[in-house]
Amino acid sequence: MTTIIADAKFADATRGTAVQQSSAFVRWALVLTAVAFLGLMLIVPLVIVFFSAFEKGWQTTVAALTHADARAAIRLTVLTVAIAVPLNVVFGVAVAWALTKFRLRGKSILVTLIDLPFSVSPVIAGMVFILLFGARGLLGPWLGERDIQIIFAWPGIALATMFVTLPFVARELIPLMQAQGREDEEAAISLGAGGWQTFFRVTLPNIKWGLAYGTILCTARALGEFGAVSVVSGHIRGETNTLPLHVEILYNEYQFAAAFSVAGLLVGIALLTIAAKSVVEWRLQKSVRGNADGVPAAQKPSERSGSERWASR
């Protein structure tokens, strides 16, 4: 069935080129405009980062990356990712499972609320934790008596990061699991599998590429979050600076080569992220196609480019 659909699409495409093609002039003008715009907006900034990073020679670059403050920033960033990503992955799987495998009241409200962190300004995301846990916040005095510090310390940074990265995994899994339906799980249970067994042997293998996709996006954002973390961090060098905050400090101190060296590291990670994302997206589309044979392509929400869902934030 899939091959027939693919062939039909191919035939459609070739027919399209024969009858429905814009003139070569229009085509080239449009392509060149697109390339010029993306080149100016995306490629020039990338080139500038690497160019500025190596401007003062590679020794400066290495020195900037191995400086004690930089290493502390790397450690804190890794810690933040290690806390925020696993928790949001568990939440994402749990909420997608609950929403798609059971019938619930208030489902659409919950789905909408999951998106909330995407539409709230990162500064507000950080600010609410100050209002809650800050020295003069609601719980501040109580925490102060017990000598627990959340704001201007790593717990606050982790909380703010968890807030902004909460939706990624859930958003990815909900449409995927909706498209896959409940038949596989029902079959497993009727064959005598328990709840956990069904989850690990049936559900998890079915959603693994979607899960990988959501996790990649969640990690990228957790590594690079600036606004929310900046509000709660207090900017203590070597202690509460994540990598993006370290970039800011170096830049404001006019250590441009060092700032761009650390920025270059983050650009490298970002490029790896979008490369990994393309690979996973391709596998994801394959896995959905394999799963839902016989369903016309346009009716399967998950077959639409994964990026569309990423964009839906």
Partner 1 sequence: MGFSVLYMSLLVLIPLSTLGLCAGRLSWEELYQTFTAPRTLAAYRLSLGGALIAAAVNTVFGLLIAWVLVRYRFPGRRLLDTLVDLPFALPTAVAGISLTAIYAPTGVLGGLLDRVGIQAAYSPLGIIIAMAFVSLPFVIRTTQPVLQDIDRDVEEAAATLGANRLQAFVRVILPAILPAVLAGFAMAFARAVGEYGSVVFISGNMPGRTEIVPLLIMTRLEEYNYAGATAVALALLVLSFVMLLVINLLQAWARRSAPV
In angstroms, give the least distance from the CB of 42 to partner 1: 5
Identify which of residues 186 and 308 has a Cβ nearer to partner 1 in the complex: 308
| Binders of partner 1 in range 251-310 (CB under 8 A) | 251, 256, 259-260, 263, 266-267, 270-271, 273-275, 277-278, 296-299, 304-305, 307-308, 310
| Binders of partner 1 in range 173-212 (CB under 8 A) | none
How deeply is 166 buried, as exposed, middle or buried, from its count of CB atoms within 10 A (0-12, 13-18, 19+)? buried
In angstroms, give the least distance from the CB of 85 to partner 1: 14
Identify which of residues 209 and 260 has a Cβ nearer to partner 1 in the complex: 260
Place of tokens 């394999």: 290
Identify which of residues 60 and 191 has a Cβ nearer to partner 1 in the complex: 60
Is residue 34 near partner 1 by the rule CB under 8 A? yes
Q: What is the DSSP letter of 40?
A: I
Identify which of residues 192 and 261 has a Cβ nearer to partner 1 in the complex: 261
Residues present in the chain in total: 313
Total residues contacting partner 1 by CB under 8 A comes to 98
Q: Among candidates 310, 303, 104, which has minimal Cα distance to 221?
A: 310
| Binders of partner 1 in range 59-98 (CB under 8 A) | 87, 91, 94-95, 98
Contact call for residues 224 and 244 (beta carbons, < 8 A)? yes
Which residue type is seen at 134?
G
Rg (CA), the chain: 24
Place of tokens 């799987």: 93
How deeply is 53 buried, as exposed, middle or buried, from its count of CB atoms within 10 A (0-12, 13-18, 19+)? buried
| Binders of partner 1 in range 95-134 (CB under 8 A) | 95, 98, 102, 104, 110, 112-117, 119-124, 127-132, 134
At residue 134, the 3 state secondary structure works out as coil
The residue within the footprint of partner 1, chosen from 8, 38, 82, 187 (CB under 8 A), is 38
